[in-house]
Amino acid sequence: MTHRGSRVLHVGSLTRVEGEGALLLRIDNGTVAAAQLKIYEPPRFFEAFLRGRRHTEPPDITSRVCGICPVAYQMSACRAIEDVCGVTVDGQLAALRRLLYCGEWIESQTLHIYLLHAPDFLGYDSAIHLSRDRRADVERGLRIKQAGNAVLELLGGRSIHPVNVRVGGFHRTPTRAELRPLAERLRRARDDAEETVRWVAGFDFPDAVCDADLFALAEPGTYAIDGGTPTVLPYGDGQEPRSFPVRDFTAHVVEEQVPHSTALQARLDGRRHLTGSLARYAVSGHLLPPAVREVARAAGLDGACRNPFRSIVVRAVEVLYAIEEALRLIDAYEPPPRPAVGVTPRAGAGHGATEAPRGTLYHRYVLDADGIVTDARLVPPTSQNQGAIEEDLRRIVQAELTRGDATDAGLTRLCERAIRNHDPCISCSAHFLDLTVERA
């Protein structure tokens, strides 16, 4: 509905995002009064039906939260359960977990770059339309994604909802001979990944700045993937980075229900924050291998990047890094003496966080003395990012209105594009429903 000076723009169903969501944009007298990302998927209730399960079950159950990033849920669950039980998984078992996670980064980030995000920059409605004119580009993306899937299939047993992960390690570990063909495939994918960085760096990027705090895990000496310390880079001049222990996650990241969404929204110490590729690169980009840093610099990434439209370039750099890291892990691999370490249950609370492709994912479990889960808490990246996404939408639309009389169709395209900058996983975020029953 439009009339002079005011508009209400409603996008009933967002396209090229994972899950189901809508957008409400209200403009009063040329000012954006409201921008609401309306997530209307039914709540998933994973936290509720984890209660009463044995301590060995969360990795398999939570992997079903998302078909695109199941490894993230498995690894965060394993870390939290092992934290309760006082177990540390290290050596080659930890290296295999990181290798499996690299496979997920490769396939998930590549899917977003080529199939969801690139059509926005090149003027196509979908990757299908893109492939008609730029077949070689799409095929390059599919080759990289297939290499990531191959990592998941070998280490996880299958590429979607892997079944080989368990608390303490794996049900089965590969031989060196089994990893050799995988290394050959990844070496070929590395060339495609470098070309991807150069390709996306040539896109036309609108000017934009995300003014949220950046939030990611940090790990000494390496680019954090499968663990680390929660670290905040505040927005604003003169503010110093700060960190806190994983066990204090929910004391800092506080979720609340909002009326327009079935998903929770979170704030970090009372402020908007953004997690994901932009945050990771800002926190740990200096720890990338020299060859990857050089490719990133050539693509225009020199230090922290706060333009959400350029997140596609950062994701491409992370794909290249994940391939390089996977090759390093394969080259150093020696089969461990056993596929898993023993994990004896004990009463207590445990915490785990890893870097899903879309950002920091936190799990907390409380066990009784028999190893039964009595409480569970999952905080996904998208619920953390919703506030920053909505503010991005408000600022981007306001800037467009200032430049001229934008049409509803143009604003719709711009808003969908701005949302896809953050690659929201809507299904992951719909994990709670605030229910009030009133009876006369």
* Alpha carbon 41 to its chain's center: 19
- 215-229 in b/e burial notation, b at 16+ Cβ within 10 A? bbbbbeebbbbbbbe
What local confidence, expressed as pLDDT, does residue 431 receive? 38
- pLDDT score recorded for residue 16: 57
> Hey, is 263 helix, strand or coil?
coil
Q: Residues 218, 243: contact at Cβ < 8 Å?
A: yes
**283-323 pLDDT, tens digit each:** 999 999 999 999 999 999 988 999 999 999 999 999 999 99
Q: How many CB atoms lie within 10 A of CB 95?
A: 18
Strand partners, 130: none
* 3-state SS class at 373: strand
| Residue range 17-76, pLDDT digits in tens | 566 677 788 888 888 888 888 776 666 688 888 999 999 999 999 998 887 889 999 999
Q: Which spans in 28-175 are helix H?
A: 46-50, 58-62, 70-85, 91-111, 118-122, 127-133, 135-156
Report the sign of the C-alpha dihedral through residues 76, 81, 87, 92, in that order. negative
What's the pLDDT score for residue 432? Answer: 37
pLDDT value of residue 4: 43
Classify strands 359-367 and 373-379 as parallel, antiparallel or unpaired. Answer: antiparallel
Kindly report the backbone phi and psi dihedral angles of residue 387, in degrees, each rounded to the nearest multiple of 5, phi listed first: -60, -40
**DSSP three-state, residue 99:** helix
Q: What is the DSSP string of 196-221?
A: HHHHHHTS--------SEEEEEEBTT
Give per-10-residue mean pLDDT for the chain (440 aa).
57 60 81 80 80 97 88 97 97 98 97 93 92 96 98 95 96 97 97 98 94 96 97 89 97 90 87 96 97 97 93 98 98 97 97 97 97 96 90 88 80 85 66 29
Three-state DSSP class for residue 161: coil
Angle value at C-alpha 185, between 180 and 188, nearest 5 degrees: 130
